[in-house]
Structure 1
Amino acid sequence: MEIHNLSKQNSILNSFLSELRDVNIQRDAMRFRRNIERVGEILAYEMSKSLNYRSENTQTPLGTSSAKLPQNEIVLCSILRAGIPLHNGLLNYFDRAENAFISAYRQHKENPETFEIVVEYLACPSLENKTLILADPMLATGQSMVATFEALKAFGTPKDIHLISVIGAKPGVNFVKKHFGKHTKLWIGTIDDKLNEKGYIIPGLGDAGDLAFGEKLQH
C-alpha cells in the first residue's frame, strides 16, 4: 500500500488539524465539521494528482482552450455517521462522483475494551472497473475500513482504491496495509503513534462523530 502522509509537508492543513484537536475549539460543532470538510478538500486535491488525465478542448466565447482533464469514474463511499463532513469535502472537489454510504460501528460485548465491527446499512452503485474512494475520518484500529471493503466486494471489483482519513494511528495503518493490495493508496492528514486500551487514537482528537453531531446513546 502506498501511503501519503500530508503532515510531513508544511501546509495550511496543519492549522486545520490543530484546530480539530483543540479541546476549546471542539466546543463549536459547526467549526469542527467545517474543518473536517476542509481537510477533505485538501486530501481530494492531493489525490487528484494521481488520477488519469486526457487532453480535451473547451469552447470559450472567444476561441478554444485545451486542458488535461481527469477521466476516472469515481465512487465515493463514506462510513456513517462521522464520515459525513469528510464526504462533503471530497464531494466538493469530485462533484461528478457516484456515492455510496455504509454504517459500520463498534459493538461492545461483556468486556468494554473489546468489540467487533457491525455493518448494517449499505447503499452502493456498481464498483466494477471504477475508482473507489473509501473515506473514514479516524483510522484507529483499521477494522472499520476493512469490514467496509469486505461488504463492498459484492458490488464489483474496482480498478483502483484510495483510502482517505483525517487522522490515523500506526497500528491501524499497519492493519489496513495487510488487507489491501499494493496498488491501494492511503491519503491521510497525519498519523499518531498509538491507540489506548479502548482502541482510540492517542493523542487523536476524541470521538469525531460525537464532536460533529452530538453524543449518542449506547445500546
Structure 2
Amino acid sequence: MTLHILSQQNTVLNKFIAEIRDKSIQRDSMRFRRNMERIGEVTAYEISRTLNYSPRVVETPLGEATVQTIDDRLVIATILRAGLPYHQGFLNYFDDAQNAFVSAYRKSTKDGKFTVKVEYISCGSLEGKTLLLVDPMLATGSSLVLAYNALCERGGEPLHTHVAAVIASEQGIDYVEKNMPRQTTTIWAAAVDEELTSRSYIVPGIGDAGDLAYGEKI
C-alpha cells in the first residue's frame, strides 16, 4: 500500500493547511470551507497524475488535436457532513465523476467510549471503477473503513481505491493499511500528525472539521 504525504513538498498546499489549522483564521467558516475545497483540488490534481490515460482526437475550429484523457471511471465518495467541502474540491476537477455519500456518526456510551454507526448510503455501482474515498480527518480510521465496507456491500468492489485525507493520524493510516486491500489501495494525506486524544481527536489537528465548516452541533 502506497502512502503520499503532500505537505512534505513545499507548495501552495501548505498555505491552505496553515490556514485551516490557525485558530484565528479557521473561525471564518466560509474561508475554512474554501480552504478545504482547495486542498481537495490540489489532492485531486496529484491523484490525476497516477491515473490511466489514452489518446483522444478532438476537432478544433482549425483542425484536429490529439490529447491524453483519463480512462478511469471515477466515483468520489465522502462521509457526511464534514467531508462535503473537501469532496467539492475533487468534484471541481473530476467534474464527470459519479458521487457517493455515507452518513456515519459516533455513538457515545456513558464511559466515554464510542462506536461508529453507518445510517445512510447513496451509491451507484463500483464494479470496474476507481473509488476516491475522501474524508478530511483520518483519526482512528474506523469510520473510513466502515464506510468503505458499506460502499462495497452496496456497489461492489472497485478496481482501485484512493483514500484521501486532509489531516491523518499515524494510527489512522496504520488501521487503513491493516483493514483495506493492500494491493488496490493508495493513501493520500495533506499532512500527518502523531497524536490522538482519549476521545480520538487528532493533535495538533484542526478541531472538529464539521463544526468549523457548518457550525456547532448539539
TM range (shorter): over 0.9
Q: Are 1:143 and 2:142 counterparts?
A: yes
Q: CA deviation at 1:28?
A: 0.3
Q: CA deviation at 1:153?
A: 1.7
Inter-partner Cα distance in structure 2 for 1:139 and 1:7: 16
Inter-partner Cα distance in structure 1 for 2:179 and 2:38: 28
Aligned to 1:185: 186
Give the SS at the match of 1:50: coil
Counterpart code for 1:192: D
Give the SS at the match of 2:58: strand
Aligned to 1:202: 203
Deviation string 1:135-181 (CA, Å, 9 cap, x unpaired) is 10000010111110111122111111100110011011111110112
Question: Which runs of no fewer than 5 residues in structure 1 stay unpaired?
Answer: none
Deviation string 1:88-121 (CA, Å, 9 cap, x unpaired) is 0000001000010111111111122x11110001
Q: CA deviation at 1:71?
A: 0.7
Inter-partner Cα distance in structure 1 for 2:198 and 2:157: 35
Counterpart code for 2:209: A
Give the SS at the match of 1:125: coil
Aligned to 1:159: 159
Q: Give the number of equivalent residue pairs.
A: 216
Deviation string 1:47-99 (CA, Å, 9 cap, x unpaired) is 00111100111111011111111011111111000000011000000100001
Inter-partner Cα distance in structure 1 for 2:64 and 2:107: 57
Give runs of aligned pairs for residues 1-219 of structure 1, distance below 5 A: 1-112=1-112, 114-154=113-153, 155-182=155-182, 183-217=184-218
Counterpart code for 1:168: A
Inter-partner Cα distance in structure 2 for 1:216 and 1:186: 29
Q: CA deviation at 1:187?
A: 1.1
Inter-partner Cα distance in structure 2 for 1:150 and 1:78: 13
Counterpart code for 1:40: G
Counterpart code for 2:179: H
Cα-Cα RMSD: 0.7
Question: Which runs of no fewer than 5 residues in structure 2 stay unpaired?
Answer: none
Shift >2 Å, 4+ stretches: none
Inter-partner Cα distance in structure 1 for 2:58 and 2:177: 41
Counterpart code for 2:80: L
Q: CA deviation at 1:27?
A: 1.1
| TM-score scaled by length of structure 2 | 0.98
Counterpart code for 1:208: A
Identity %: 50
